[in-house]
């Protein structure tokens, strides 16, 4: 297990260094968002070629992770190409360069790549540790986990599609998205993301080694709810979208629920 994880860590580090060098040339670190998804697939694939676990569980984890990565990675790549650099990164790196005197190389390397690499490695532990044990075979819990993971992928896909369609209409510029799945949760994309990884963990959790990977979905859920996900988005929307306070008052912050009557 330690050998597999060490090799995976080395592979991930090499990928992040290569991406960092590319971003130095473009002076734009936004592609790291797309690699957040693809990098987890790399970890799943690297484990797949090394481990000797239950073949069905290994293939299930690799396939579902691949589906999730392809969906999110492609979407984030499209968003970057369509909308340009992410202003959050521009602000973060700009402050470090202006107030600390850091170079772009140091600011991007230390604040973006060196931070995201270990987070990615820990979050995707279910698709790494879940492939290691040869027994037991996939059982009821594993298939329930697969269903939950696929539901999460579908949920975030629909939520993102609804938001893209809403923003594409000129009459909605500057307005707040409050319909569709966004009527039941302020963050359908984040909820779907977390749900997917809890499902993947349930597949892994049928094995003794995979059970320990619970730290992955726990970290992801905390990150989305309390750190760089929802709090960042909500802080910005509170300043730029009229009626956002009322939307917050009636709409669940994460888990989908019927809107509150005001």
Q: How many domains does the chain have?
A: 1
Closest of 125, 145, 138 to residue 55, by C-alpha = 138
Tokens standing for 111?
């604040």
Q: Is residue 54 in a domain?
A: yes
Which residues neighbour 236 within 8 Å (Cβ) at sequence distance 6 or greater? none
**Confidence at residue 213, expressed as pLDDT on a 0 to 100 scale:** 98
CA distances from 18 to 22, 35, 102, 156, 212 (A): 6, 12, 21, 29, 30
| Helix, strand, or coil (residue 93) | helix
Q: In this structure, is residue 120 part of a structural domain?
A: yes
Mean pLDDT, the chain cut into blocks of 10 residues (262 residues total)? 97 97 96 96 98 97 98 96 91 93 96 96 98 97 98 98 95 93 97 98 98 98 92 90 93 95 72
Residue 75 belongs to a domain: yes
Q: What is the DSSP letter of 255?
A: S
Q: Find the angle CA(107)-CA(111)-CA(117) to the nearest 5 degrees.
A: 130
| pLDDT score, position 262 | 61
Q: Specify if 260 maps to a domain.
A: no
* 3-class DSSP state of 53: coil
Within-domain flag for 32: yes
Record the pTM: 0.95
Residue of 33, 107, 42 whose CA lies nearest to 74: 33
d(CA 82, CA 172): 18
Of 30, 7, 118, whose CA–CA distance to 77 is shortest? 30
Q: Compute CA 181 distance to the chain's CA centroid, rounded to the nearest angstrom.
A: 19
262 domain-assigned: no
In a domain, 261, yes or no: no
What is the enclosing helix (H) or strand (E) of 243?
none
53: in domain: yes
d(CA 218, CA 244): 28
Domain hosting 194: range is 1-250
- First-to-final CA distance of the chain: 53
């Amino acid at each position: 297990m330690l050998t597999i994880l060490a090799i995976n860590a080395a592979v991930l580090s090499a990928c992040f260094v290569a991406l960092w060098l590319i971003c130095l040339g473009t002076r734009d670190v936004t592609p790291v968002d797309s690699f957040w998804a693809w990098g987890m697939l790399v970890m799943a694939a690297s484990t797949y070629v090394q481990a000797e676990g239950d073949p069905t569980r290994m293939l299930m984890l690799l396939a579902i992770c691949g589906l999730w990565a392809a969906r999110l990675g492609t979407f984030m790549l499209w968003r970057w190409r369509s909308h340009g650099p992410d202003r959050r990164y521009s602000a973060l790196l700009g402050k470090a360069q202006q107030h600390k005197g850091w170079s772009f190389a140091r600011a991007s390397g230390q604040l973006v790549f060196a931070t995201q690499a270990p987070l990615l490695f820990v979050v995707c532990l279910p698709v790494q540790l879940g492939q290691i044990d040869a027994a037991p075979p996939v059982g009821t819990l594993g298939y329930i986990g697969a269903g939950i993971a696929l539901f999460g992928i579908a949920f975030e896909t629909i939520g993102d599609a609804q938001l893209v369609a809403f923003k594409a209409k000129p009459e909605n510029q500057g307005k707040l998205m409050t319909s569709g799945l966004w009527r039941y949760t302020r963050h359908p994309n984040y909820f779907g993301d977390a749900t997917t990884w809890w499902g993947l963990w349930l597949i892994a959790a049928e094995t003794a080694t995979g059970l320990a990977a619970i730290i992955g979905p726990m970290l992801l859920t905390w990150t989305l709810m309390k750190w760089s996900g929802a709090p960042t988005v909500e802080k910005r929307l509170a300043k730029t979208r009229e009626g956002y306070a009322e939307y917050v008052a009636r709409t669940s912050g994460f888990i989908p629920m019927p809107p509150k009557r005001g």
